[in-house]
Structure formats: structure tokens, C-alpha cells
Structure 1
């Protein structure tokens, strides 16, 4: 941090920034006498200071922020305006002031961003607990599908068509919020949700409502707290639209093609892939090759053709994710 600034008169001053590790300063008397107390240290940046009250304000501003390491020590020495103006440009001190100010603001913004990110992760983790507490397989399904979705998004970004839309932030939002896709299932009755066999038509209609419930839960949070963050919009879109189909035959809104949000089109394939690969009470696990044979013909029907194209390039990655997050017999 900036350790000491001692001013005892208001004439023109020449300052030097000294880097951390030493405790040193200069006092300046009215008659021009000085007293220097220091350990070994070399000046790093000479500069002119003729508007030192502003410098003091900025230094105090910077000094008010906690940091793990000191920033600099300012040592002030008396000089005359006529001599120093010939050598040092006032632009340097203005630049120094500006950099100090920007540094302080950046530190605040970074701290706030990190705190907000921690809060977001805590919120998502808490909501996910609502969907995966029933059984271990559900928890592993959430892990696998978010990794599948991340792999698909990264591969899809290589397509020039999506380079602007699929940013690093987009990929992170999809990865972080994919586990919320079935949050609406908390509103589905256990006899239907936990039924070991195939659902009847009536039961399936009831099960469809989980996307409506999920969208409403997340949208209520967005509206109540006036949330503008993209991760919440991504969570809502995945929860609401991951059962839509590219040809418009999905539910609940029968959206078609690009009308379906990209994050939902990506997750739709990840979700179906995992459902086919996983063992259920009413079906056996399928090998990757068989799942590929089922997904590929659905390009342009159930799935976005671009997403299917990306998927076909990720065979080894999908197999790896499936193995890493497989439920092991206890």
C-alpha cells in the first residue's frame, strides 16, 4: 500500500514512487530542510507533482482498499517550479492519478464480481439439491448432461455461424445452469415421477407440466428480484424449452428451428443421449454406437442439424464423460 505522505509546505514537489518492502519517507520543512528515513530502495518512477492535494486524495482512496501486497511508497522532495517543469511533464502525474483511480475501481469491481459468482454458484447448487436428492442416478445424470452440453457448445463455437453467439460466458452459463433443467419436477407427484415402468398417456401429459413449472419457478425469481444476469435467462430457457423439437413437434410451445433458444437446442441432444445411454427400470443401457445410430437420423427432426454435426465429432469425449460419471454399484 502507499505507506506515508508527509507534507509540511505547499511549494512545488518532485515525487518518486518506491516499490514495496521498505518503510521510508521524506519530511520537508518550510526552510527547505529535509529528513529522509529509509532502508535500501531505489526510486522506480520520478514524476512531477504540482497539484498534491489531488494526489493525496487519490492516495488515500487507494490506501482504503485491503490488499495482500503493498502498491507503492511515495516520497516527496522539495523543488522549484521553474527547475522541475523543464524536466518533468505534468502529463505523467495526471497519468499516475488516472492509473491509481482505475486500479482502485478495478479492485472493487473484481471483488464484487467474485462475490456475485460465489452467490450464483450457491444459488444453483441449492436449487439442484431439490432435483437430485431422491436417488444417486439423478445426481450423476445432472453431472453428465452438463459436461455433454459444455462439450457440444465448445465444438459448435468452431462453426463460423455461432462464433459471436457462443462466447466463453455462454458456455459457462450453459454448464452452470444445465443441472436446473428438471427443476420443475419438484411439482410432479411421486407416483408419476418415480414410476418404474412406462407412463400412460394421461401420466405423460402430467409429466409434461414439469417444463412449465420449471420456467415459472425461475421466471418468478427473475421478476421478483429484477435479475438481469444472463445465467438466469439461460437457466429459464433450458428448463422451459429442452423438450422442444427442431421440426416443431415438441412440447410445450411447439417451437420450431431457430425459434428454440440455442442453449435449449444444445441441451436437448445432451439430455436424450444420456437417457438412451443410461439403464432404467424399464430399459437396458445402450452402447455409444447404438445411440449415435438413433440420433443421427433425427437431424432436422428432433435435433438441430448443426448440433448433431458437432455431436458426431465428439464421440470419444462423450464416451469419456459417460464413464467418468457412471453410477458404480455399491
Structure 2
């Protein structure tokens, strides 16, 4: 038969009283059952609490010179390190108002002086058992919180791996340059950072929203997977029918991401963000885009940012049917789309940090001989759709 563990065994009790005889009396009652530490004033008690290991319980005299028990208790409960230590007041006061005041400050019990040894031991044991239970529950909660955080981190890494693989397959089909996705992510991060300083955009561009945008952008054009190679890589002009097929890629991308979410047991903020980008990245500020002809602020902020970032990437890195253009020419093309194709505020932010986009293009340039190729952009500057 297993012995029952006593949570009160050899607990440490801090006794605080300005009268030496009282300290000696309480020490005599407690020694043998508990480890006892003594303080003859409030400041001395607080000093002991700041140093070394913490006691399991504080026996605290109320009436003391310099700093009374109420003030000491208040300081104990204000400090996150000591606030969970139970405090029992020792007092000759028998006024209900005084007792209510002490309990309101966080004390767990009152013991009247002169003390009765059996009462002192029983009250202390009861509070130590309660503290042991509370400590156990607190430790369990912390463990569960850490475990949930760990599992969420694992799940996020798995999602990242899935998205990375999907994006890699998608862009490997259309891009020989291996750093296209990295340039998109870096450019999107830079543009979002700049727009966070603008009160018109800051509410929609929280740190979490931007984090999701940067993670999701590799999937914004996933609908192009449905476009046949004969159209995607056609050297000449597209027919009306072929243009119609390409124009369906935005809605197809959104539908595909919804299907992925269902297969995974439900959508996530990351897939929702990717779906928003996929569906709206071909909309235009003046309402002439597709698939829904949205205009102005009806277009999701993430899609408005992606439109500019992708346009610069398409122009500066080139496409199958077009050589890359110089940085200045790419910037001019985006500036000319201000208020028609692109959100004017997003274009202004881009122009403010155009040097950062040039730095990203240079730093993450594809290796020599790897010509960046993509799907067709006929009527949208740098866009993928026709």
C-alpha cells in the first residue's frame, strides 16, 4: 500500500511579528512540523521575500510599528512573484471591519491572539492543502498551455510545409527562377511595413494580418494550375476563348483553396487569407478587373498590395514572352497605373520605398541563365491574367 503524500510536510512558514516573545512562541509551535523563518518587522519580511526561495505561507501580525500588516500584505499581493503565497493575519483586533479589510486585501484567514497552538496548526494545515491544490492546478494549466502552443507550432510548420510544396510545384511550372516566391514575400513585407505607418491602412494591417499575408502570398495564383500549358506558354496572342479560360483562374484558385480547407477538416486564417488573395488579386481599383468587377476599397487590402508587388516582380524579373525592364521603367509603369489599376495609397507607399524593391530584386536575383517565366499578362501591368 502506497503512503499518502502530505502536501503540508516540511513546508516553510514565514512568521512576521515585532514582539520577540511572539516570534519565539510561534516558532516553538511550528518547529518539528515546518521550516520556520522569522522577521521582526514589515520591511524585514519584504526583504526576506525578495531574496532566496519563497515561503509556502506567511503568518503576519497586523499591529506593528513602521509598517503594519495591512501594508505588508498589500506589497506581497502586488508582486507577481509573491502574490500567490497565502497570508494569515495574527491580530488582537476583533473588529469585523478590520477583518473585512484584511480579507479584502488578499489574506486567507485570521487568527486571534493570544493564539491557540491547535488552532494555529489546523488553520495553517488547511491553507497549505489549499495552496498545494492551487499550485497543482496552476502547473497543470501552464503545462496544457505550453502543450497547446507546442502542438499549434507543429501544426503551423506542417501547414507551411504543405503550402511550400504546393507553391513550389505551382511556380516550378511557370518560373525557372527559383527565387520568385522569396521576392514576392520580401516585397509584400516591405510594402506592408510602410503602409502600417498610414492611419488609413494600419487597422487592416496588424502584425498578425501581415504575417498571414506574407505566408499566404505563394498561393495567391494557385488557380493558374488549371490553365493548360498550350495557353500558359503560348508565344502569340491569345484568342478570346483562351483569354476567357485564363480569366477563370482567380475564382478557380479561391475554390481550390476552399476544397483544401475542407479536406483538412476546416479553414484556417492562413487559408482564408490565401483565398482572399487568390480571388481578388485581378480586381482593379477602377472596377474594370475580374472576376467580380470590384472597385476601390471593396477590394481586400491584401489583394491590393499583392497587385502592386506582383506587377513589379513581373516587370523587373521578366516573363516568358518579355524581357525584364529596368527598375526605373517598372516603377514608372506602376505609377501610371495609380488610381486605375492600383490603389493610389498603395502606389504612393511603393514609390516611397522603391529603392527597397530594387534592393530585394538585386539581392534575391535568380542565378545566371535562369530566365524567370510566368503565365500571360495582356491587359494588366505585370499581372498573370489575360
How does the TM-score come out when normalised to structure 1?
0.73
Among 140, 151, 159, the residue aligned to 2:198: 159
Among 31, 50, 55, the residue aligned to 1:46: 55
Among 195, 206, 213, the residue aligned to 2:234: 195
Q: Rg bigger for which structure?
A: 2
> Residue 287 of structure 1 corresponds to which residue in structure 2?
326
> Residue 116 of structure 1 corresponds to which residue in structure 2?
155
Q: What's the offset of the Cα at 1:95?
A: 6.0
Deviations 1:64-120 (A, max 9, x none): xxxxxxxxxxxxxxx976158579976865764454233112211211111111111
Q: 1:92 to 1:119 in 2, by over 3 A?
A: same
> Residue 120 of structure 2 corresponds to which residue in structure 1?
82
Q: 1:162 to 1:280 in 2, by over 3 A?
A: closer
Following superposition of structure 1 onto structure 2, how do residues 120-131 of structure 1 map, counting pairs within 5 Å? Answer: 120-131=159-170
Distance 1:80 1:324 in 2: 77
Q: 1:249 to 1:133 in 2, by over 3 A?
A: same
Deviations 1:14-72 (A, max 9, x none): 5259xxxxxxxxxxxxxx989x9xxxxx97222149xxxxxxxxxxxxxxxxxxxxxxx
Q: Is the 8 A contact 1:128 1:180 kept in 2?
A: yes
> Residue 3 of structure 1 corresponds to which residue in structure 2?
none
Q: 1:86 to 1:16 in 2, by over 3 A?
A: closer
Q: 1:221 to 1:9 in 2, by over 3 A?
A: closer
Distance 1:86 1:271 in 2: 69
Q: CA RMSD in A?
A: 3.3
Gapped runs of 5+ residues in structure 1? 1-5, 18-31, 37-41, 50-78
Distance 1:233 1:81 in 2: 62
Deviations 1:227-278 (A, max 9, x none): 2421111111111111110110001111111111111111011111111112
Q: Is the 8 A contact 1:13 1:48 kept in 2?
A: no
Q: Is the 8 A contact 2:277 2:306 kept in 1?
A: yes
> Residue 86 of structure 2 corresponds to which residue in structure 1?
none
* Count of aligned pairs between the two proteins: 276
Q: Is the 8 A contact 1:156 1:162 kept in 2?
A: yes
Asked if 1:274 is matched to 2:270, the reply is no
SS of alignment partner, residue 244 of structure 1: coil
How does the TM-score come out when normalised to structure 2?
0.63
Q: 1:168 to 1:200 in 2, by over 3 A?
A: same
